Structure 1
Amino acid sequence: MMTAHENSKLDPVIAQFKHEMFLLCTGIANVANEIGQALPAWGPDITQPVNARFSFAETNAARLPDELALAVLQVAGAHVHTIGRFMQDEFTPPATVAPIARSAVENAALLIFLTRDESPEFRTVRAARAIRAGMNRDKAHKLKGLEDLYDNLNKLVTRYTTKNEIPDLKHDKVEYTELVELTLGELVGDEFYGELCSYTHHNTWKAFYQFIAANENPTVLEVDSLYFAQKMALALAGAAFSILKYREPTQTANLQELLNDKTTRLLRLGEEIQGYLEALASNRSD
């Protein structure tokens, strides 16, 4: 396990930033989960026609988009919550943060890509196809007990798309880098995903750099971890905001206010960290 061998080199100001990041990451993850679990906005006036339209394949097809959104949001939220708890460690290197942050960002981007303003029928088919694609990827459609589910999803998607064209339906054909840029670029920056990957994929320089820096200057590593955590939590917040329009508004009004508040605080924390780093650099140059 990567450790800083001399605790005296750990910066107490960074420790305070980490405490704030712990509170915000875990807080945003919890709020996002509550938003995901809120009642769907679609009432019988929407669900009944959708279910009737797809009754040839699935008896309650209208549930698919909201259940899938909750599932993806909970995966991303679990990652963000975990990294938030990593911030409680005495030393938090990017070697532990980046791989989980990368998965969180991918799931947040996927949710935003799937959750768009479109007709209930299109949204239902998009969700069905996304689940079918995942089952194909994992070969889950061959597992006993899942054959009927896969066959129903396949029937729903195939029959509908034969006569209807849905834009950007094949999310699994979009490279992860492009997916993140399309959905989260304005929020986390176009270079962020690549920076995560440089720590996540095998990289001899990054490994050697972390090995040296952990003892010589652990602050630079913890700053990277804070940066990854902040951007990752922003991505989760963006994903949670994206599904608010599909959740019952009276049930999510307070949650939206909470999410707004925590997102604002997260942005402010990023500015405070940047200001501290600039002050350190200025002091060194004097």
Structure 2
Amino acid sequence: MSSETTSSRPVKTTGLHVGDAVPGAKKHDPILIADSVKRTFGGLTAVDIEHVEIPRGAITALIGPNGAGKTTFFNLLTGFDKPDTGTWSFDGRSLAHVPAYRVARMGLIRTFQLTKSLALLSVMENMKLGAKNQVGENLFRSLIPAIWRKQDAEIEAKAMDLLTRFKLDAKKDDYAASMSGGQRKLLEMARALMSDPTLVMLDEPMAGVNPALKQSLLDHILDLKASGMTVLFVEHDMHMVRHIADWVIVMAEGKVVAEGDPYTVMEDPAVVDAYLGAHHDTDLGTDAEHVEALKELIDDEQ
């Protein structure tokens, strides 16, 4: 991908939803569906999702102000936390009571806002950990190198191909701790691809990344879609959202308050309300100043 990919408004995927683009809109081919998912912490309701569907084969952005419940929702969907109520499924299979490692084996892989690379392992060792169904993980089989050596060589070759693609091949023998924050983001994304996922969930992939690496991350996310994967990401960088997202879901106070294409969503009164904290008795639909303020807020985040 070249830098020109994100320099102008891209062609968006069409026909993602059924009917109007409203909160909880039905999708033609959803890969992830959540119904009545609620999570409370004491007296605080962090997530209260009535219905949401993630379209297959598209890049969906999950946005909202700090404290909206985005990361908590990610944790619930991927088995890192348990909801109080609700049902949710991935590719037609229920994820209720499925632990995080099994969710990953099913093809739903996530990254974290704070990278989870193992600092005292090399970059290559981190990559190899991401591969599924390694026969050498069995205690008894690991004692017989002839059983696992061929597969290990194949895993290492695949890891090297991905490191080259992410321009991290020169660092394959370096400790992960020696990498910059942006490089660790690239490593985490590359490691996620070792398991050949169907859906990749990225939690604030641009957080802490210097401008020099941002374009690289953008291009890699677009490559995921080009490779046939579905992408769901949490992001505060509205420049990124507008230029690569096919669909946007907006959360505020734990609920989905708006859905639609990026350019329509940015002017939705509910989104203005969520970001600016406007009073509920204000007629946001006719308040051009609030809309312009949101645009300025978005532009400032570029």
Q: Which has the higher helix share?
A: 1
Q: What TM-score do the two structures reach when normalised by structure 2? A: 0.28
Considering Cα pairs closer than 8 Å and 6+ residues apart, tell me whether 1 or 2 has the greater RCO.
1
Larger radius of gyration: 1
Q: Which has the higher strand share?
A: 2
